[in-house]
Amino acid sequence: MKQIKPIYSDILIVGAGPAGLMAALQAAQVACSGCSIRIIEKNPRAGRKLLAAGAGRCNISHTGSIEEYLQHYGPLNGSRKKLLKAVLYSFSPADLGEFFAHRDLPLKELNEGKLFPRSERSLDVVELLERSAEQAGIHIHYSDPVAELYLGNSEGETAPRTFRLRTASGTIYEAGKLLLASGGASYPQTGSTGDGYELSKELGHRIVPPRPALAPIELEAYPFGELSGISLPVELRYPGASKKAGRTTGDLLFTHRGLSGPVILNSSRYLAQGTSIEIAFTDKTPEELLHFLSEAKAAGGSGLLKSRLRALELPARFIRLLLQHTGIPEELKLADLGKQASRKLTALLTAWPLRVSRVGGWDKAMLTSGGVALPEVHPHSLESRLVPGLFFAGELLDIDGDEGGYNLQFAFSSGAVAGRSAAEQI
Ligand SMILES: Cc1cc2nc3c(=O)[nH]c(=O)nc-3n(C[C@H](O)[C@H](O)[C@H](O)COP(=O)(O)OP(=O)(O)OC[C@H]3O[C@@H](n4cnc5c(N)ncnc54)[C@H](O)[C@@H]3O)c2cc1C
């Protein structure tokens, strides 16, 4: 290994996803002219996960104040809150909006505060970042995964500490500043296979065990397979969790094998195999629902129960399954609705109990929770507290946001902060 002359850069970045690309671009703005910035990317092109974002439409960011933003990254313990605040104030959603607007790809709000590029094409975002990197003189080395990382000294052993990387092709890179932006472990087909955890560990960092997040769930004795494709608003509860974490409202999507949709994806960080959950399919309390049913019975006479239940804004296929599940005949007349049947319906509609058998898999989870432990990272610079000159950005860090643009915003913001901080040290 010693015979191969390392290729030197001032800043070396691992990973050409949104975090790594933004880090390089912001570093290029701050760094001295003539400074070299290099990205090593395992894939033949940049931003493969970014291409898949928002089903190819790229939900880049979200409207709202930073204080509102902070509510979308799970439980806010001390170091997570500090880091998120520092990063999001330093390169804010407004800064990101301006970044794209200046490059002729302004963001627009599509639904419920979600921000997309005007063209609604992830490809345009990736091409814009690649083009900007090329114009800024950033070298991107593709199709060559980093295989090994170690600390070295450039000329003899007396020079300041440097980082050395060996890639699969055997090339050795050396740099004064190293920025790890190699993503998490979800959607491994996009290149994010958790390599950054090993690289960080080699440099002494603690990794909070990675778990699939923003993931669908599978359930024991799953009853809803035949409703696949139907989506409806619900409240999801997970008993035993803290009050705030234990209740989420949003759209639920039934799939063949389990549950998905925003309400599940955003809660998946709190769920695990064996977790008991309850789903409320109505916003009525049990008392209100019992009252609704007894009123319907009194007024309805020969009308059908299933028709009356439609007033709860439930899809017909769901009502059919509900009646089957409770053993109530589908053609039951309201006049024949007994107390026991009313109670059964009420119990399921207000708190349908289920038990999680599986969260994710990595191939379905859109995100990783866990990663580089935040107490070991300076929140304002994203520099390692253990190894000076080492920086982190993006999903590799122990931060996971809700769906809706919060994760790309964090990837871009943290990339910007880490890239600038690295460049300021040169
Ligand atoms: C299907 C899907 C849809 C999504 N949609 C959205 C959305 O609409 N909005 C949103 O906010 N978030 C979305 N996300 C999440 C978002 O894409 C990620 O949070 C974001 O891409 C993380 O950026 P990153 O730069 O940290 O990591 P990544 O985008 O994963 O980039 C890391 C890069 O590092 C490279 N790499 C890894 N290991 C090595 C190595 N050893 N050597 C060299 N290179 C390496 C990888 O190939 C990759 O290019 C989605 C995720 C998925 C999977």
The DSSP result for 118-155, as a single string, is: TT--HHHHHHHHHHHHHHTT-EEE-S--EEEEEEEESS
Q: Quick: pLDDT tens for 317-367.
A: 999 999 999 999 999 999 899 999 999 999 999 999 999 999 988 999 999
Any ligand 1 atom below 6 A from CB of 215? no
- Tens digit of each residue's pLDDT (9 = 90 or more) over 29-39: 987 777 899 99
Q: What pLDDT band is residue 277 in, cutting at 50, 70 and 90?
A: very high
Alpha-carbon distances, residue 179 vs 21, 58, 310, 403 (angstroms): 11, 25, 56, 26
**Same domain? 166 vs 261:** no
Distance 49 CA to ligand 1 centre (A): 4
Q: Are both 39 and 179 inside the same structural domain?
A: yes
Rounded mean pLDDT, 222-229: 96
Segment 298-313 shows an average pLDDT of 87
CA 406 to ligand 1: nearest atom: 11
Tell me, what's the pLDDT at 243? 54
Do 137 and 198 fall into the same domain? Answer: yes
For ligand 1, is residue 371 a contact (CB within 6 Å)? no
Quick check: CB of 258 below 6 Å from ligand 1?
A: no
Q: Which one of 1-5, 207-211, 300-304 scores highest in mean pLDDT?
A: 207-211
408 Cβ closer than 6 Å to some ligand 1 atom: yes
Same domain, 282 and 334: yes
- Say yes or no: CB of residue 43 within 6 Å of ligand 1: yes
How far is 310 from 201, CA to CA, in rounded Å? 56
pLDDT of residue 244: 56
What's the mean pLDDT in 386-413? 97
- Helix (H) / strand (E) element for 355: namely strand 352-359
**CA dist., res. 268 & res. 234, Å (int):** 15
What's the average model confidence in pLDDT over 295-300?
84
Listing DSSP states for 362-404 in one string gives TTT-SEEEEEE-GGGB-TTT-BBSSSTTEEE-GGGBS----TT
Residues 166 and 104 grouped into a single domain: yes
Atom of ligand 1 nearest to the CA of 21: 25
Residue 215: phi and psi, rounded to 5, are -125, 150
**Residue 200 beta carbon below 6 angstroms from any ligand 1 atom:** no
pLDDT at 240 exceeding the cut of 90:
no
Q: Name the average pLDDT for the chain.
A: 93
- Does the C-beta of 265 come closer than 6 Å to ligand 1? no
Query: Which pLDDT score is estimated for 198?
Result: 96
**pLDDT score, position 191:** 92
Q: Is the C-beta atom of 216 inside 6 A of ligand 1?
A: no
Q: Which of 15-29, 230-244, 280-294, 368-382 has the lowest mean pLDDT?
A: 230-244
pLDDT at 153 over 70: no
Say yes or no: 373 and 355 in one domain. no
Q: For a substitution probing ligand 1, which of 165, 408, 413 has the most ligand atoms within 8 Å of its CB?
A: 408
Per-residue pLDDT at 241 exceeds 80: no
Structural domain boundaries, residue 175: 7-212+367-424
333 and 375 assigned to the same domain: no
Residue 242 predicted with pLDDT over 70: no
CATH of residue 243 = 2.40.30.10
pLDDT at 1 over 50: no
What's residue 245's pLDDT? 58
Mutating to test ligand 1, I would choose from 407, 412, 413, 414 the residue with most ligand atoms within 8 A of its C-beta, which is: 407
- The verdict on the CB of residue 40 being under 6 Å from ligand 1 is yes
Tokens representing 25? 């671009």
Whether residue 292 has pLDDT greater than 90: yes
**Paired sense of beta strands 37-40 and 7-14, if any:** parallel
Nearest CA to ligand 1 atom 46: 191
What distance in Å separates the CA atoms of residue 288 and residue 346, rounded to the nearest whole number? 9
- Could you give the angle at which helices 406-424 and 78-90 cross, rounded to 10 degrees? 80
Q: From atom 5 of ligand 1, which residue's Cα is the shortest distance away?
A: 53
pLDDT of residue 31: 77
User: What's the CA-to-centroid distance between 359 and ligand 1, angstroms?
Assistant: 20
What share of the chain in percent tops pLDDT 90?
A: 86
pLDDT at residue 302, as a whole number: 74
What is the token pair recorded at 416? 């910007």
- 154 lies in the same domain as 225: no
Mean pLDDT on 260-266 = 94
Higher pLDDT, 40 or 296: 40
Q: In which residue are the tokens 């033949």 written? A: 44
Ligand 1, atom 8, residue with closest C-alpha: 54
Q: Verify that 246 and 228 share a domain, yes or no.
A: yes
Examine residue 250 and state whether it is found in any structural domain, yes or no. yes
Q: What percent of the chain has pLDDT over 70?
A: 95
For residue 413 and ligand 1, the question of a CB distance below 6 A is answered with no
Task: Name the β-bridge partners of 233.
Answer: 251
Confidence at residue 156, expressed as pLDDT on a 0 to 100 scale: 54
> Residue 160: is its pLDDT beyond 60?
no
Residues 377 and 341 in one domain: no
Q: Is residue 2 in some structural domain?
A: no
- Give mean pLDDT, residues 131-160: 83
Same domain, 197 and 270: no
